[in-house]
Copies of this chain bind each other. A is one copy, B any other.
């Protein structure tokens, strides 16, 4: 977005025109603009917003800016904004606020809402409960379509969606769903029970967001009802929040595959020590495992001493092995996440990768042999040692890269943490042993 015009109007203090400009902008764009302003200016712009837009813009602000603005505006203004927020945004905000501010806000709410807020605050992170909101349309199966539409009309402005409506009985048990499309297509006097879809998919408040995202993807849903352990309808999740969940889960996988503990804030806003902490443990673990590679080299020190030229090829062998393994593990991990492969495909994958690694390994070996023997004029035995090792390294790497993620999944570990660094370490060790074994054999030196 380009905020130059707004910036100009703000610095000219042309508030009437700024106000009318803001009217035509999307809330998310206004929020981005306010996020970058300093305290005083942010407050001015925020107060220029039309009343019905303020809560919407507020919900898109960064948490820091939300807290900053909450501090600056008076209690009455804050109460108005908070009461206009959707329930899930309200809970998210309260979660971030200092305890005494929360207390003040809760004083202004009804006992029922207070109880509900406390209940929502207790749902585990990344659960359906923490994602859902309560602004859904509920209908009764005895209603006629006309009555239902009338009810929707009355309550629509406060609802997060009216396109799927939920049919509950007197005890709030979920009986089924009716889409607005069904309602519009039906005759006014038809009863809801005649058009209800009974086999509505629902999830439990404690279900994990990753599974919920999979359900949305599979069934192309716009919204999904959430029930408690007694099968009472307690909230709904909408597809726009699921899109965010998908990106969040993918980010987590990217982090894990790069051997970082997942970070759920924006990288640029996280402190140095927190970032260091998220990385160092994995680096230490991988450093320790890499020392085993060192021991292998150490134990072949005599071979290396007599043909020191061998050392020059170690980085190339190790890198190629690491890269070849990472290629497979990335493919397999991603396929597991997308539900395309399971542990049952293990042997199919091994067989596939065995063949691929023959093709790729031989190609690389030939290329390498030509380079070392003809171009760099090393002795034939060295060229052979390096090239043969390369084939076996690629085969080992590709097969390990295929097996390890599936094995992790089977053991209920996270495949993404089994990723490239781990495989690299194993492949390094194996390839060095092969390398020095070939060297001992072909170069006629004694280990």
Interface of A toward B, CB cutoff 8 Å: 24, 26, 28, 149, 152-153, 156-157, 162-163, 180-181, 184-185, 199, 216-220, 222, 239-240, 242-244, 246-247, 250-251, 253-255, 257-260, 263, 266-268, 272-273, 275-276, 279-280, 282-284, 286-287, 290-291, 293-295, 297-298, 301, 304-305, 308-309, 311-316, 318-320, 322-324, 326-327, 329-335, 338, 340-341, 345, 348-349, 352, 355-356, 359-360, 363-364, 367-368, 371, 394, 420-421, 424-425, 428, 432
Contact = CB atoms under 8 A, between A and B. Distances in A.
Contacts of A329: 258
Contacts of A290: 315-316, 319-320
A323 B280 CA distance: 10
Contacts of A326: 258-259, 420-421
Contacts of A295: 312
Given A180-B184, A326-B258, A352 B162 contact: no
Contact of A340 (B266, B279, B309): B266
Given A162-B184, A254-B254, A305-B305, 4 more contacts: A255-B334, A267-B332, A301-B312, A319-B421
B318 A315 contact: yes
Given A246-B243, A334-B254, A297 B315 contact: yes
Contacts of A318: 315, 318-319
A322 B322 CA distance: 10
Given A219-B26, A319-B290, A323-B286, A330 B184 contact: no
Q: Which of A222, A272, A345 has the most chain B CB within a 10 Å cutoff?
A: A272
Nearest to A314: B314
A405 to B, nearest CB: 12
Given A149-B184, A180-B180, A324-B279, A355 B272 contact: yes
Q: Which of A267, A349, A428 has the most chain B CB within a 10 Å cutoff?
A: A267
A213 to B, nearest CB: 9
Contacts of A297: 311-312, 314-315
A92 to B, nearest CB: 15
B315 A314 contact: yes
30 contacts: A24-B199, A156-B185, A184-B184, A220-B243, A246-B247, A254-B333, A255-B331, A258-B331, A260-B330, A263-B331, A266-B340, A268-B348, A268-B349, A268-B352, A276-B360, A283-B394, A287-B316, A287-B364, A290-B319, A290-B320, A294-B312, A294-B315, A297-B312, A301-B308, A301-B309, A301-B311, A301-B312, A314-B314, A319-B425, A322-B424
A50 B185 CA distance: 21
Contacts of A242: 243
Given A287-B364, A295-B312, A319 B180 contact: no
Contact of A352 (B24, B272, B282, B301): B272
Contact of A267 (B156, B180, B340, B394): B340
Given A275-B356, A276-B356, A368-B287, A309 B298 contact: yes
Given A220-B240, A276-B360, A359-B273, A293 B267 contact: no
Nearest to A330: B258
A338 B268 CA distance: 12
Contacts of A355: 272
Contact of A181 (B162, B266, B291): B162
Closest 5 CB pairs of A and B: A258-B330, A220-B240, A293-B315, A290-B316, A294-B312
A338 B252 CA distance: 13
Contact of A367 (B181, B275, B284, B428): B284
Contact of A341 (B185, B268, B338): B268
A378 to B, nearest CB: 10
